[in-house]
Each structure stands twice: as C-alpha cells, then as structure tokens.
Amino acid sequence: MTPSQTEIARKLGVSQRTVSAVINNNGRISDETRERVAKACEEMGYQPNRMASGLRGSRTHAIGAIWPVADPWAGDSAISLSLVKLLNAENLATYSAPATQDLDVLCSQIHELAGRGVDALFLHSIPSLLSNEKIVNALKAIPAVVAVSREEVSEFPGELVVHDRYNAMREVVAHFAKTGRKRVSILIEPTEESNPPKIEVFRQACRDYGLEEHEHTLIPMPKTTIPREHSEQHRNAIINAFPGEVSVDAIFCVNDVGALYVMRELQDRGIRIPEDVAIVGLNNAPTGVVWAPALATIDRMHDQVAQEVFQCVTAKIANPDAPKQTRFVHMKFIPRTSAG
C-alpha cells in the first residue's frame, strides 16, 4: 500500500509540508533534507516516478479537480465534465476528488493532489473555505490554482471565477414588477450557508422595484439531507405557508425541480399559472421546458464557466508568475410561460 506524505514525514521527523515541498520541488529546502525525503519515498514505495519528475522540476501534465460528483439540483457537475474534455484535448490528465464542505477532508484532498505532483488544481467551494488559513496554506504546494465561488474571496491565493447568480435574481424581480405582480415570494431553505445572501438580494430587489414586504416574502423550506426528499419539501413548504388561500402572485424557487413540485401543488388546487401565480425556478433543468406551462428559470451558464476555468488553468500553467485575476460569469434569467 502506498504510504501517505504524513507517514513519510512521521518517519523522518519532519512536517508533511516539507515532504510535499520536496516532492513538488517547491520552497526552500536544504539539499540534505531533499535527499532524505527522496530516499524515504523510494524505500517506502511512494510513487517514485512522479516523485522523480517533481524533483527534476518537470511537469506531470496532470490536473487536480475537487468538484461536485453527484449534483442533482444545480447540475454543476456538468462543468467538471466539460473541463475534463477540454483538458484531455490538451493532453492533460485529471485526478478527481468529490467536493466537500468539511475543512479537514478538503485539506487532505489538496495534500493528496499536491503529492501527485499536479501542475494545477481547479476546485468548487464556498467562500468560508476558500478564505480559510489552512486551505490557503495547503494550496501553496500547487503551482496553479483556480476556484469557482458564488462571490469574491479577497483572501484566496489563486485565480477566481465568480459564478454570480445575484444579477439574474434581480432580473427575476424586475420581471415580476414589470408584469404587474404585487406580492412576490422567494421559496428557500433559510439556514443553509449560501442562502441568506440570496434572500437579502431578493428582498433588496423588491424594495428597489417598489414591491411590498409581506408575511410571505420568504417562504421557508425545511432542511433535509436526503436528496429524494428535497423537491417534495418545496411542495410541503407551500402547504405549510398556505393551508387555505394562496395570498401571493409570484414565487421564485431556487431550484427547478422544486419549482415543478410547487406548480403541481398549485395546479392541483385549481390555481392558474401564470394568470394567478407566476413561477420561476433556477438551474435550467431540461424537464422545465416540456412542462405545461414551460418553466421560467435561471441558466447557470455552465459552458461559459468551463471555458473561463479552462483559460485560467492553461494561462497560469504557461505563466505561473502572472498576477492573479478574478473573472465573472453571470447567470441569465430565461423568461418562459410560467412567469407570465
């Protein structure tokens, strides 16, 4: 069994960071320490080919990826698939690990990919992790790093692609106002880390367009970690908020599949969409197009995100000393029949 960098470090009495630095030819390490680490790696069977390549300072033509693998709601796994195809076309292999919000697991994944001597890493994560000191330090062992985040992270040491949904959410509210809606709502699980900013953006947009705040501006959805229950919770949220009359005329659901469940609940009650209540989802799921009426939604612009990350990765590999940059990809509101 291949030993870990931590096991090699423990045997030599040095830090794991020192072992990683030697393997990846990074940092200021004495010749004596380099020789000790190289010898230990060889004796313990630690991927000698990759190690030798790293010690020569040559490229491995391998890219690391920490990205959602199973992603039934947002569909961001499609971005990783597109990126792998683009990278493979450039004769770059990829090592993949599933995205996580666990700090220690993410650190371990980064160290593992650094130990493989990857030329670059692209990852999908939340701002609180991308700005975490442990993550920032771990990423220093990888020559080029590109992250996709929902908002800017000034502390992040690498290239950043901001996958912005807020402009599209404002477009949704603008459409509601333009089409004469008066009492609009957002249906969302309010305690999940990424959602409070969405709620505030929605509420501010309502204020900007003169739409009144009311008791159902926020329709809270119960939290669940079971995927098959996630969409049903949207329907349950409508049942809980409106056991009788539905007193709103527009609902923005931050998930397309959940929006379809909401539409079914309203249609089962004899409520007309969009005449009585307009509905907008998010993620541009293919099923929304064939629903009756067709679901208005927000397109996540997956292909554009993949292109931006690909360009960042290849540019940084070609010029490691170039100043870091932040690129933006704005999601786009797609008006369809359900929105009126």
What tens digit of pLDDT does each residue of 61-90 get?
Answer: 899 999 987 766 677 888 888 888 998 888
Alpha-carbon gap, residue 286 to 304, rounded angstroms: 18
| pLDDT at position 224 | 67
Residue 184 shares a structural domain with residue 209: yes
Work out how many domains the chain is built from and give that number. 2
Q: Tell me whether residue 336 is in a domain.
A: no
DSSP state of 296: B
- How far apart CA 280 and CA 205 sit, in angstroms, is 15
Q: Which pLDDT score, from 0 to 100, does residue 155 have?
A: 87
- Dihedral-angle region of residue 270 (phi above 0 means left; psi in -120 to 50 means alpha; beta otherwise): left
- Same domain (yes/no): 11, 130: yes
Cβ neighbours of 47 (radius 10 Å): 16
Give the Cβ contact number of residue 139 at 10 Å.
Answer: 21
pLDDT tens-digit series, residues 230-289: 678 899 999 999 999 999 999 999 989 999 999 999 999 999 999 999 999 999 988 899
* Shared domain check, 141 and 51: yes
| Measured distance CA(61)–CA(58) in Å, rounded | 9
339 domain-assigned: no
Are 282 and 317 part of one and the same domain? no
Pair 10, 150 in one domain: yes
Residue 334 in domain: no
In Å, how far are 182, 237, 270, 280, 286 from 258, measured between CA atoms? 23, 10, 19, 10, 14
Q: Is residue 106 domain-resident?
A: yes
Structural Rg of the chain based on CA atoms: 24
Q: Are strands 120-124 and 93-98 parallel, antiparallel or unpaired?
A: unpaired
pLDDT of residue 50: 44
Domain limits for position 187: 166-299
Q: Kindly give, in sequence order, each residue whose CB lies less than 8 Å from that of residue 1, ignoring residues fewer than 6 positions away.
A: none
Specify the pLDDT at position 49.
Answer: 44
95 inside domain: yes
Q: What is the pLDDT of residue 58?
A: 61
Which residues, given as ranges, of the chain have pLDDT below 70? 1-2, 24-27, 47-58, 71-73, 224-230
Sheet holding 218-220, edge to edge: 218-220, 184-188, 250-253, 278-280
How is 274-287 classified by DSSP, letter by letter? Answer: TTT-EEE-SS--TH
| Nearest Cα residue to 233 out of 261, 273, 211, 206 | 261
Task: List own/partner pairs for 29-38 with CB under 8 A and 24 or more apart.
Answer: 36/12, 37/8, 37/12
CATH (domain of 185): 3.40.50.2300
pLDDT at residue 55, as a whole number: 42
